[in-house]
């Protein structure tokens, strides 16, 4: 690739990775998609390209659309629940996160919900909500009509927002709640921990059949409290547990010799923890381990 083309591609790489990750829910697959776009960019006569941003965005989003079709088939035989790969975000890995809306767009909760959408719905939703593209631009990228893009977006938004009526809290309130949650779990105070959990709280673990993990979500404050105490009070030589920013929110991260062994995403509402997502599949922690060193 000539130096000018390489320089132009590198200028867009962070945004392309952020786009691919939102589309796929997998950091490792997002890296592959960006690299494939790089190869296609290298083999294209760039004198015929009016906008590098539009060309590269179109290439990445359509690669991801194709990959989502095969990914859906693989997830049908996935062992246990499937959760997105966690990404550390304190260093701007997924772009600026200056507002609650921007943080929500890359949260584990929203990425999990996006699994409800088909590839076209997901592409339209991500391009519109996450990157602010106009429907005319989205229609050009996806080779659909502008009215089709608008209708798809309305349908996708409705499916994503279904049942989302929880009371939102500030970042400061959320931090205080998460800190109390971790302290209660680490000290073994089951009553205090249970008091911090919503009555209908759900804990979902993704081990991918590679490591031991519950294959069905654990439901209810009492059951989840006891489950967490058994997990977070597990004594492993060299294990350190801390709070880190993951996907725009505070998460519990357990490491052994600096290598992550579990990332726990924590969803909060009002003064309660409403959902927990535990990623323990080593394959899904590989990117997180590299990026957070």
Structure tokens belonging to residue 231: 């997990």
Q: pLDDT by residue (tens digit) across 122-154?
A: 999 999 999 999 999 999 999 999 999 999 999
Contacting residues for 192 by C-beta, under 8 A, at least 6 apart:
180, 184
pLDDT confidence bin for 280, thresholds 50/70/90: very high
High-pLDDT (> 90) share of the chain, %: 71
Q: Which CATH architecture has domain 171-291?
A: Roll (3.10)
**Where do the structural domains in the chain lie, given as residue ranges?**
3-161, 171-291
Domains 3-161 and 171-291 share a fold: no
Would the pLDDT of 234 be above 80? no
Q: Which of 9-18, 80-89, 169-178, 229-238 has the lowest mean pLDDT?
A: 229-238
High-pLDDT (> 70) share of the chain, %: 96
pLDDT confidence bin for 3, thresholds 50/70/90: low
| Average pLDDT, integer, range 12-39 | 96
> Where is pLDDT greater, at 164 or 255?
255
Would the pLDDT of 166 be above 60? no
Q: pLDDT by residue (tens digit) across 57-102?
A: 999 999 999 999 888 878 888 899 999 999 999 988 898 888 888 9
pLDDT at 165: 53
Would the pLDDT of 163 be above 90? no
Farthest CA pair distance, the chain: 67
Return the CATH fold of 3-161: Butyryl-CoA Dehydrogenase, subunit A; domain 3 (1.20.140)
pLDDT at 33: 96
pLDDT at 164: 65
Would the pLDDT of 197 be above 60? yes
SS3 labels along the chain: CCHHHHHHHHHHHHHHHHHHHHHHCCHHHHHHHHHHHHHHHHCCCHHHCCCHHHHHHHHHHHHHHHHHHHHHHHHHCCCCCCCCCCCECCCCCCCCCCCHHHHHHCCHHHHHHHHHCCHHHHHHHHHHHHCCCCHHHHHHHHCCCHHHHHHHHHHHHHHHHCCCCCCCCCHHHHHHHHHHHHHHHHHCCHHHHHHHEEEEEEEEEECCCCCCCCCCCEECHHHHHHHHHHHHCCCCCCEEEEEEEECCEEEEEEEECCEEEEEEEEEEECCEEEEEEEECCHHHHHHHHHHCC
């Amino acid at each position: 690739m000539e130096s000018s083309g390489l320089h132009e591609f590198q200028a867009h790489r962070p945004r392309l990775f952020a786009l691919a990750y939102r589309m796929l829910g997998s950091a490792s697959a997002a890296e592959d998609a960006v690299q494939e776009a790089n190869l296609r960019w290298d083999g294209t006569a760039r004198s015929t390209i009016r906008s590098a941003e539009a060309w590269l965005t179109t290439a990445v989003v359509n690669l991801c659309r194709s990959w989502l079709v095969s990914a859906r088939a693989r997830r049908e035989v996935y062992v246990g629940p499937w959760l997105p790969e966690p990404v550390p975000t304190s260093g701007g890995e997924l772009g600026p996160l200056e507002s609650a809306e921007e943080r929500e767009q890359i949260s584990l909760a929203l990425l999990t919900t996006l699994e409800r959408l088909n590839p076209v719905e997901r592409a339209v939703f991500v391009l519109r909500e996450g990157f602010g593209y106009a429907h005319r631009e989205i229609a050009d990228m996806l080779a659909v009509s502008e009215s089709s893009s608008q209708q798809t977006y309305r349908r996708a938004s409705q499916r994503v927002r279904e049942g989302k009526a929880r009371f939102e809290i500030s970042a400061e309130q959320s931090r205080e709640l998460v800190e109390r949650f971790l302290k209660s779990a680490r000290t073994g105070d089951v009553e205090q921990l249970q008091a911090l959990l919503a009555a209908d709280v759900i804990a979902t673990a993704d081990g991918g059949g590679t490591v031991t993990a519950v294959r069905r979500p654990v439901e209810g404050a009492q059951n989840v409290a006891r489950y967490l105490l058994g997990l977070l009070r597990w004594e492993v030589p060299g294990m350190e547990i801390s709070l880190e920013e993951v996907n725009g929110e505070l998460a519990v991260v357990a490491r052994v010799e600096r290598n992550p062994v579990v990332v726990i995403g924590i969803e909060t509402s009002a003064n309660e923890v409403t959902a927990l997502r535990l990623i323990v599949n080593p394959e899904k922690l590989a990117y997180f381990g590299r990026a957070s060193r």
